[in-house]
Amino acid sequence: MTAPSAPGPHEAPRLSSRQQRILAGIEGDLTATDPALAHTMTWPAGIRGWWPISLAQSGSLVIGLLVLMIAAVLLPASWWALLAALTVLLVIPWMLLCTVERHNKHR
């Protein structure tokens, strides 16, 4: 039989049952006082906030981009620069607006 190994440099040490109870109490208090922050904290750090728009808005974006791609295929190449400019002028402000709305909703 081998003894349990000590946590490595990138591993968190295990919490005792007392520490787990204290942590659960802190989490409960946080959830009760600030649910928006508690929701934000439940996402893993690498995922939290990486996509600035909601899922429904993402669907609209994908549909809009598909329409623009189909238009690019159907239009002659001489129109592609105009289509690219139109895409940039429509999509970037739209994404910024969605980001601001989502940020204001979580306040």
Where are the chain's structural domains? 15-43, 55-105
d(CA 66, CA 73): 11
Is residue 63 predicted with pLDDT exceeding 60?
A: yes
List, for residues 3-17, the tens digit of each pLDDT value.
555 666 667 778 889
Residue range 44-60: mean pLDDT, rounded: 60
Q: Compute the C-alpha angle 43/22/6, nearest 5°.
A: 75
pLDDT grade, residue 22 (50/70/90)? very high
Average pLDDT over residues 69-96: 85
